[in-house]
Structure 1
Amino acid sequence: MQLSCFSPNEIRTAYGLNPILNAGFTGTGQTIVIIDSFGSPDPFKDLQQFDADYGLPDPPSFKVLHPLGTVKLDQNNSDQVGWEQETNLDVQWAHALAPGANIVLLTSPVSETQGVQGLPEFLKLEQYALDHHLGKIFSQSWGATEETLFMPAGKKVLSDFDNFYREATRQHVTLLASAGDSGSANPDVNGNNYTFPTVGFPADSPWVTSIGGTTLNADVSGNYQSETVWNEGAGNATGGGYSQYYREPAYQKRYLPSSLYSQSHGYRGVPDVAFNGDPVTSVPVYLGFMPQPGYFMFGGTSAGAPQWAGLIADANQMAGHPLGFLNDALYKIGSNPLLYSQAFHDITTGDNKQGNVSGYSAMVGWDAVTGWGTPKTDFLIPLLAQPSK
């Protein structure tokens, strides 16, 4: 496949966002909260370069907060550099789809990897954001394989997050998370893949809207042509599958066909929706801290979470209030044939199988690789903002 890279305008065109933005719904008055380890050396300066190059306004407000302290960034530390890149991806592409929204970046001095490490600090940051009323949309482009949290310390983390997510949802916060980039074969704490299909946390949480990844095909102007499940093999594919911990939430039990029980066995399926995530159909991110500063191409479901955060900022502005928990509305729309075809691109081709680890296949309607599919935002955003009675 030919390598392609989509500009902000091309992504907006592919997913139908330009009419929404042109009508003035750019996320004005909304705040997107982004949580990452370490942050990057100067994310606002890099965002300004991104904006200048793509003709975007700078956000009305951009704040970087370090409630837990900072560490000195070392450009020879590949883990830190990876988080720096993730930070710029999250910031620039949340902004690209909601150029009128404020951004708050919260950074942790601890690297989140697999298992418990880093998750308690992320929870403290999110609690800080909730307590200080920093914003109503949380973008979480990170995760740990669910099974790495099945020991007592991990189950405490799951319980603590569950309690927090319930409270955040009660306060009308929208929680978004990437479904993972390892397909069905996710690693344990030692970096060795499990030999059976797994999913990641927090994407598996019933309180979270999880984002899967696709391969987007569009023309040179960004006009939508088709999409398939993102799966490059060799450990690079969209996450998706069924939790071994969380039971099937009410919105899945009510709106998904009973025929899926043979897959789910009554457990939570992920993802809920999807977005372009294939690094072959990538998005550009400006990295001013690299030895040769410039644009680098990125993909992954971690690109989808901040872009969905931008879409929800636009929808919140249109609604005149925060939408908060999304999944009830998304599943109600998806289960209505008259609305579904207008609101989503249904992805029906591909799977997330990895090597000898079985995966899941795309199918008509919801599936455990792309959820309901990718948004047709010119219809979906007004529908979320002003749902029919």
Structure 2
Amino acid sequence: MHLHEHISTIQPTNSFFGPRAQARIEKRMSEAIVDLEDVASYPSLPAPPSAVTVDAVCNTTWVTPLCLRTLYGTVNYTVQAADKNVMALNDFLGEVNIRSDTALYLQNFRPEALGAENQFKKISIDGGTVNDMLNSTELEDFTGIEGNLDDQTMIGVAWPTPLTVYATGGSPDFIPDLATPTNTNEPYLTWLEYILSLPDPLPSVVSTSYDADEQSVPKDYAIQVCATLAQLGARGVSVFFASGDSGVGSAGDCYTNDGKNSSTFLPAFPSTCPYVTSVGGTYKFNPEVPVFRNRTSGLYTAGGGFSNYFGTPNYQKSAVSSYLKNYVKDEYAGLYNPNGRGYPDISGQSLNYTIFWNGTLRPVSGTSASTPAISAIMALVNDALIAAGRPTLGFLNPLIYGGGYKAFNDITTGSNYGCDTKGFPAVAGWDAATGYGTPNFQDILALLGLNGGKGWKTWSKSS
């Protein structure tokens, strides 16, 4: 009996690849970027501001939770439904969250939340690591910088909303390419099978600061993961993924892995899945622009582009078509799929976040910083919805593309460099560098008919 046409993927499987070495953080596309060699040269934290304004509390050297809360408009919001709302984050690849570091972070940046470091839940799935202490090998590999960034940022922005951490072990098969020569892909399906087995209510938002070159993920597996992610949205969960940290692709790696070695941009999965909200990166203030930093370990620009696996979904066809027609260079023809799902959808600050790791203050950058920040802000939107007796946002993209973009700060200059090109430009409206831009919390509430707003009756219901 022939079963091939009826089987999309088999999970779990045995992998015959060798043990996966823990790479330095700077070399892991799917995780935070920390300039470890530059810590001593960073200036001291500024004195506490006398006024809570963006100019007073924000600078590009140290981005604090007070800056994020002020910049995006949540600083005066009071959480109302902490007993009915939960936010969550994912740990993969042996990442952990160190409670003692989170205590230092809260003591310095959100003192009223001190104690929350002992209150968030850690759930191990398939052997995922949930320890609170680092051994010598983990210290050498800087394990925990990503995990600490995620939980510290989410608590710092959305406290006292409860937090759950899912730590998932294992890895799926992968297809090597120049940027991903060894298997550092994440076991998304293992996590999804677990969380979908839980009863309602599920967390209202889930932040995931990991991704991989789409071409390094077997297509059948990617399709199965994407279809399963859609089920989370249908159950009221807003799922956020980082768009990546190499623009349209890291220089020197922009070739196909199909044996032809053709030049190509490198889209990132799961951001290319149509059923998630992909978060890009910005920096600077008034105005924000696409993040750009030329580091000693390579150029950092936020990921963005078009999928080779998934077609343009209905909700963004108009935006993508207009963007490609009016703004994308003909010289990029053949380097990307103009009929693919475009990402990111939205963006957030992603340079020089303050975190504590191993007892010390460190600047950390990446879309793995903007993703937990945006997730926490949307958790607060869900808090307001729940308090008003309304359902949570769930799958967010049809709302954004259907008119919700009016509540976001449009980014109109700059681009996401990569593959030795300028990448895709940021322009008025949606673009493949910053999506629709960064959130304005008060405007989002108003569009939803909350906080005195009248709401907006033309929010799209399409998918």
Please report the TM-score for the alignment, with normalisation by the length of structure 1. Answer: 0.83
Q: Does the CA-based 8 Å contact 1:110-1:121 persist in structure 2?
A: yes
Match of 2:365 in 1: 299
Alignment-derived partner of residue 104 in structure 1: 164
Question: Which residue in 1 is equivalent to 2:400?
Answer: 330
After superposition, the C-alpha distances for 1:194-228 in whole angstroms (9 at most, x for unaligned) are: 343222001111001000001122xxxxxxx2211
Q: Is 2:208 aligned against 1:140?
A: yes
Distance of aligned partners of 1:204 and 1:76 in 2 relative to their CA distance in 1, 3 Å threshold:
same
Distance across 1 between alignment mates of 2:184 and 2:198:
21
2:95 is matched with: 39
**CA contact 1:27–1:314 (8 Å) conserved in 2:** no
Q: Structure 1 10/127 Cα, relative in aligned 2: closer, same or farther at 3 Å?
A: same
The match for 1:12 among 65, 69, 80 is 69
Specify which of 71, 86, 93 is matched with residue 153 of structure 2.
Answer: 93
Residue number in structure 2 paired with 1:196 = 264
d(CA) in 2 for partners of 1:381, 1:27: 18
Q: Which has the larger strand fraction?
A: 1
- Evaluate the alpha carbon distance shift between residue 121 and residue 354 of structure 1 in structure 2; reply closer, same or farther with a 3 A threshold: closer
Go from structure 1 to structure 2 and tell me whether the alpha carbon gap of 1:28 and 1:375 turns closer, same or farther (over 3 Å shift).
farther
CA deviation string 1:64-95 (max 9, x = no partner): 1112115685443578524x110010101111
Aligned pair 1:68/2:126, yes or no? yes
Deviation track 1:145-164 (CA, whole Å, cap 9, x = no partner) reads 11212xxxx11221220221
Q: Is the 8 A contact 1:26 1:98 kept in 2?
A: no
Deviation, 1:100, is 1.8
In structure 2, the CA distance between the partners of 1:295 and 1:382, relative to structure 1 (3 Å rule), is farther
Identity of aligned residues (%): 27
- The letter of the residue matching 2:120 is F
Q: CA deviation at 1:109?
A: 3.3
How big is each residue's C-alpha offset from its partner over 1:251-301, in whole Å with a ceiling of 9 and x where there is no partner? 1014555352575622211100000112xxx211111xx3xx211111111
Which runs of no fewer than 5 residues in structure 2 stay unpaired?
1-41, 43-58, 175-179, 256-262, 329-336, 458-463
Contact 1:120-1:157 at 8 Å conserved across structures: no
In the alignment, the residues of structure 1 paired with residue 186 and residue 417 of structure 2 have an alpha-carbon distance, to the nearest angstrom, of 31
Instruction: Give the superposed CA RMSD.
Output: 2.8
- Partners of 1:275 and 1:304 within 8 A in 2: yes
1:378 to 418, 442, 448: 442
Q: Which has the higher contact order (CA 8 A, sep 6+)?
A: 1
Q: As a proportion of its length, which structure holds more helix? A: 1
Is the contact between residue 237 and residue 352 of structure 1 (CA under 8 Å) also seen in structure 2?
yes
The equivalent position to 1:229 in structure 2, one of 280, 290, 314, is 290
Structure 2 residue 324 is matched with structure 1 residue 260: yes
For 1:30, the equivalent position in structure 2 comes to 85
Q: Could you tell me how far apart the structure 2 residues matched to 1:367 and 1:259 are? A: 6
Q: Is the 8 A contact 1:115 1:144 kept in 2?
A: no
Partner of residue 170 from structure 1, selected from 234, 241, 248:
234
8 Å Cα contact 2:127/2:170 also seen in 1 = no
Equivalent of residue 311 in structure 1, options 377, 396, 399 = 377
Q: Where does residue 156 of structure 1 map in the other structure?
A: 220
User: Cα distance 1:28–1:301, how it changes in 2: closer, same or farther (>3 A)?
Assistant: farther
Match of 2:142 in 1: 81
Letter in 1 for 2:340: Y
What residue number does 2:304 align with? Answer: 240
1:44, 1:62 within 8 Å by CA — same for their partners in 2? no
Compare CA radii of gyration and give the structure with the larger one.
Answer: 2
Residues 361 and 26 of structure 1, relative CA distance in 2, 3 Å threshold: farther
Report if aligned partners of 2:171, 2:186 keep a CA contact under 8 Å in 1: no
- Stretch deviating more after TM superposition (58-67 or 255-264): 255-264
Q: Which residue of 2 aligns with 1:220?
A: none
| CA distance 1:286–1:136, change in 2 (3 Å) | same
- TM-score, length-normalised on structure 2? 0.70
What amino acid is aligned across from residue 16 of structure 1 in structure 2? Answer: G
